[in-house]
Amino acid sequence: MSQHEQQPLDFDVVVVGAGPVGENVADRAHKAGLTVAIVEKHLVGGECSFYACSPSKALLRPIHATRASQRVQGSEGARLDPQGVLARRDAWINRLDDSGQVGWLDHVGITLLRGEGVLTGPRALEVDGRPVTARHAVVLATGTTPTVPPVPGLREAKPWTNREATTSRRIPDRLAVLGGGVVACELAQVYAALGSTVTVVEQAPGLLGRNEEFAGTAVKEALERDGVDVRVGTAAESVSRLGPTGEVTVHLEGGGTVVADELLVAVGRTPATKGLGVESVSGRLTDAGYVSVNARMEVEGVEGDRPWLYAVGDVNGIALLTHMGKYQARACGDLVGARAAGREPDADRTTPWADDLGAPQVVFTDPEVAAAGLTEAEAREHGLRIRVVDLPMDSAAGSGLQAEGYQGQARIVVDEDAGVLVGATFVGQDVAELVHAATVAIVGKVPLATLWHAVPSYPTMSEIWLRLLEEYGL
Amino acid sequence: MSQHEQQPLDFDVVVVGAGPVGENVADRAHKAGLTVAIVEKHLVGGECSFYACSPSKALLRPIHATRASQRVQGSEGARLDPQGVLARRDAWINRLDDSGQVGWLDHVGITLLRGEGVLTGPRALEVDGRPVTARHAVVLATGTTPTVPPVPGLREAKPWTNREATTSRRIPDRLAVLGGGVVACELAQVYAALGSTVTVVEQAPGLLGRNEEFAGTAVKEALERDGVDVRVGTAAESVSRLGPTGEVTVHLEGGGTVVADELLVAVGRTPATKGLGVESVSGRLTDAGYVSVNARMEVEGVEGDRPWLYAVGDVNGIALLTHMGKYQARACGDLVGARAAGREPDADRTTPWADDLGAPQVVFTDPEVAAAGLTEAEAREHGLRIRVVDLPMDSAAGSGLQAEGYQGQARIVVDEDAGVLVGATFVGQDVAELVHAATVAIVGKVPLATLWHAVPSYPTMSEIWLRLLEEYGL
């Protein structure tokens, strides 16, 4: 920051929140020639870099690589080294030191304002009480915080959230996990692999409820093979901990208890809008507390002769995924840049319209779950006339070559009226990179009759595409 | 075959060659309701299943999985078990027993005629001298055989071809490889990993000459790290072997020798048209000896009131790749079926037009080379006004998470006038499944401006797509 000390606290653009989403919107606006400040009260790089995607994948990848070796005849002796896994994770999160990211901001010329940003009026904020103004735009990118539900005794039991679970240097003997979504499944698998006795408690009847049901079923079975006790369809009624560091007991609805040394709460996220002052400028929040935005990420309800307040990433609640937030950030940064220059923005480029098609997502469990577009249920809710094609992944020879006894499942969802793909889900070892082809097909609205000519290479696992289209009847 | 013994040797369709390509054309024609015979003189399943793609990938995968484990902190102890690798390969090629494939033919009701097929006239063949007629169509799918160039002493030295190299149960102490294409590179790496001292002799200035130059360079450096002595820009002048099983000496142009226990010749392929009788029905061959076909796989020059002779797969020389041959086979089988039924064939479905866009291909070396569409040089030869974008693979965080110190390179080739992708190449560990997204984009002619909205999931390696498009200027 040193080179900026002499500048007045007035910028073209002020971004609140320096996670990947905030960094991207700041970067695009700065590249458009604007002066940009980014406000961050904790770590530059945000939840994703330090407490979510990055450490989670850093922890999971050695597990995947070890198992991949163990599953192939001719490769032997691979084993997990738990301390090595933790050391790898430490390297990826740089021991919670954000100097690398701060150096990048300095390098490109974006001003970092450390502190808590609060909207105080049109184009006006305070950062830890210090007034800051934005000539053109303020962009909110504060993300979310872990939800701690109002279960009696839960907060007092000092549960882990994703933050503690992704950064712990200690492997608890027993870990209880509340929740059955991505964070719960990934971290349950990590700790089980590292040696913890893990119990998952999920209220819903299955895991990964936003995915196709077969994906959650496959991950549940895999967790159980890993020794995880998965209890679905039940919830915590109360929680108690014996003393400040003693064992935690989770009392389940309808009886039964889970006793553990640590308790991870991973039941959802809460938008980080508290104290942000959105309402003070007439900005609207959704019932769930997210900042309400239109298709161009403009905060709804804000008054003024021209748009100046935007919200991108998790805080707007559209898709709680780093890559979709970054996507919104690129569009928003370009929009802010164009508007500041008095140019008519390119509507296609500055509207993140692919949000509406269903975000791609990879769950890095073993098996991986890689999905894009709509699930069967979502497509039906959209009123589409669809056809679903299901196949085991080993219909493609490439899967069997990847691992002995390869287990997995693939589904495509076809919009029968439009003749295009609207959804795809792949479950299995090493399917993470298979899904981008689906994203391209869905977003590009490539007709199925044309997809038929997109030949997958033999013998890759991607040949499942051929099998799915054959099964569809092409 | 037993259930067909009483049938006369007259079929709707006769397919010559029972590799994957022949199997596919037979299957599609049979599904169209036609009676189909398939002629095979060696193994049903063909070169790909027994002597090429399948055993090669079966041998390479344990190497990849072992190295992937070794390259990730937190995974340790993985090592290659050479006998396990060979046993895995043996299982994949079913010890050269094609009863599984024969059982499939029986099961679906395609008649197998064991023997050598020769065209004798319009819609007429002999199989080992026995007359066979086709009411509607004859489809040639005989593939290729390894080229043994006229180097003095080479043939007498009884060199290995891909057949011996993919099926050997013995690991020679020293292996010399003539050639620098896919087969040469993949098998050089296999034998080096299994313990052979390997020398590669390639006439061209680099390896993998049909790919982008940086791909060949990366594979050459990787082979050298594996201890392979790679000699490019030189050729064998003569070869001699000491006695029937003694050591082989390759004398190089300009001096120098390579001494080895076995010599693998992998310098190209020769179309398997000898004795096939194509000329006897006025069918044309190319200068290189391939069967000349038009866009619908009809053999050029053949007389008759309606088309009856087709050639698909390697034997037509369009793309020497199993998956492209199978693609041609599906189109051809559907075309034959429609014509036999007197229906006007769907021109789009029954023309394998994606052949013209550049076939996707994966080289399963470590690093893998996965490419689709045109190389930079090919695009320029096509007269396209292009722009090339290059990036190291570790521009995407997903690559660094995949392996410590991940090394790799990516390139896209953009047609600046059409605003679409025409080529993509990825080099690195585990890039095989990245290329299908490129194939979909190229074949679907998805505008770059739309590709921008196809968001790759964080933190997958596919995020290189985002980096490439950003670097392009989107």
* Distance linking the first and last C-alpha atoms of chain B: 60
Instruction: Give the residue-averaged pLDDT of B38-55.
Output: 96
B164: region left, alpha or beta (phi > 0 left; psi from -120 to 50 alpha): alpha
In this structure, are strands B361-363 and B368-373 parallel, antiparallel, or unpaired?
antiparallel
pLDDT at B21 over 70: yes
Residue linked to tokens 């100046």: A308
pLDDT at B4 over 70: no
Distance from CA of B306 to the nearest CA of A (A): 26
Instruction: Give the residue-averaged pLDDT of B123-144.
Output: 97
Strand partners, A133: A10, A124
Give the tens place of pLDDT for each residue, A449-473: 999 999 999 999 999 999 999 999 9
To the nearest whole percent, how much of chain B has pLDDT over 70? 98
Residue-by-residue DSSP string for B367-381: SEEEEEE--HHHHHH
* Residue B63, burial from CB neighbour count under 10 angstroms (0-12, 13-18, 19+): buried
DSSP-based three-state secondary structure for A212:
coil
Contact B360 A77 (CB under 8 A): no
Confidence at A2, pLDDT banded by 50, 70, 90? very low
Contact by Cβ (8 Å): B104, B26? no
Give the tens place of pLDDT for each residue, A398-442: 999 999 999 999 999 999 999 999 999 999 999 999 999 999 999
Give Cβ neighbours of residue A86 (< 8 Å, ≥ 6 apart).
Answer: A59, A169, A171, A194, B74
pLDDT at B281 (0 to 100): 97
* Among candidate residues B410, B416, B411, the one with its CA nearest the CA of residue B386: B416
Peptide bond into B459 cis (omega under 30): yes
Q: Sign of the C-alpha dihedral, residues A186, A188, A192, A195?
A: positive
pLDDT at A146 over 80: yes
Strand partners, A285: A291
Give the tens place of pLDDT for each residue, A289-321: 999 999 999 999 998 889 999 999 999 999 999
Q: Is B432 on the interface with A (CB under 8 A)?
A: yes
Give the tens place of pLDDT for each residue, B439-463: 999 999 999 999 999 999 999 999 9
From chain B, pick out residues whose CB is under 8 angstroms from the CB of A87.
Answer: 73-74
Half-sphere exposure of B159 (CA within 13 A, CB side): 29
Strand partners, B11: B134
pLDDT at B103 over 70: yes
* Residue A361, burial from CB neighbour count under 10 angstroms (0-12, 13-18, 19+): buried
pLDDT at B133 over 80: yes
Instruction: Give the residue-averaged pLDDT of A153-158.
Output: 97
In this structure, are strands B174-178 and B262-265 parallel, antiparallel, or unpaired?
parallel
List domains and CATH numbers for chain A. Answer: 2-45+98-146+270-354 (3.50.50.60), 155-267 (3.50.50.60), 367-472 (3.30.390.30)
Structure tokens at B372: 């689709």
ipTM value = 0.96
Confidence at B350, pLDDT banded by 50, 70, 90? very high
pLDDT at B303 (0 to 100): 85
What string of H, E and C letters represents the secondary structure of B219-276? HHHHHHHCCCEEEECCCEEEEEECCCCCCEEEEECCCCEEEECEEEECCCEEECCCCC
Q: Sign of the C-alpha dihedral, residues B428, B433, B437, B438?
A: positive
Q: Is A453 on the interface with B (CB under 8 A)?
A: yes
Phi, psi angle pair for B376, to nearest 5°: -55, -45
Give the integer Cα–Cα distance in Å for B4 and B241.
49
Give the tens place of pLDDT for each residue, B271-323: 999 999 999 999 999 999 999 999 999 999 998 889 999 999 999 999 999 99
Structure tokens at B206: 């680099």
Q: Give residue B249's identity as a one-letter amino acid code.
A: T
From chain B, pick out residues whose CB is under 8 angstroms from the CB of A410.
Answer: none
Contact B436 A81 (CB under 8 A): no
CB nearest to A53's CB, from B68, B76, B459: B459
Instruction: Give the residue-averaged pLDDT of A111-134.
Output: 97
Q: Is A191 on the interface with B (CB under 8 A)?
A: no
Strand partners, B124: B121, B133
pLDDT at B304 (0 to 100): 83
pLDDT at A459 (0 to 100): 96
Helices (H) and strands (E) in chain A, counts: 14, 23
Confidence at A344, pLDDT banded by 50, 70, 90? confident
Give the tens place of pLDDT for each residue, A70-110: 999 999 999 999 999 999 999 999 999 999 999 999 999 99
Contact A370 B433 (CB under 8 A): no
Confidence at A57, pLDDT banded by 50, 70, 90? very high
Interface of A with B in 1-60 (CB under 8 A): 20, 48, 53-54, 57-58
* Distance linking the first and last C-alpha atoms of chain A: 59
pLDDT at B3 (0 to 100): 43
Confidence at B356, pLDDT banded by 50, 70, 90? very high
Contact by Cβ (8 Å): A267, A150? no
* Among candidate residues A470, A453, A469, the one with its CA nearest the CA of residue B356: A453
pLDDT at B383 (0 to 100): 98
* Among candidate residues B388, B315, B427, the one with its CA nearest the CA of residue B22: B315
Q: Is B295 on the interface with A (CB under 8 A)?
A: no
Give the tens place of pLDDT for each residue, A179-238: 999 999 999 999 999 999 999 999 999 999 999 999 999 999 999 999 999 999 999 999
Give the tens place of pLDDT for each residue, B246-268: 999 999 998 999 999 999 999 99
Give the integer Cα–Cα distance in Å for A171 and A427.
28
Confidence at A8, pLDDT banded by 50, 70, 90? low
> Which chain B residue is nearest to residue A453, measuring alpha carbons?
B354
Give the tens place of pLDDT for each residue, B436-445: 999 999 999 9
Q: To the nearest whole number, what is the mean pLDDT of chain B?
A: 96
Confidence at B1, pLDDT banded by 50, 70, 90? very low
pLDDT at B5 over 90: no
Confidence at B135, pLDDT banded by 50, 70, 90? very high
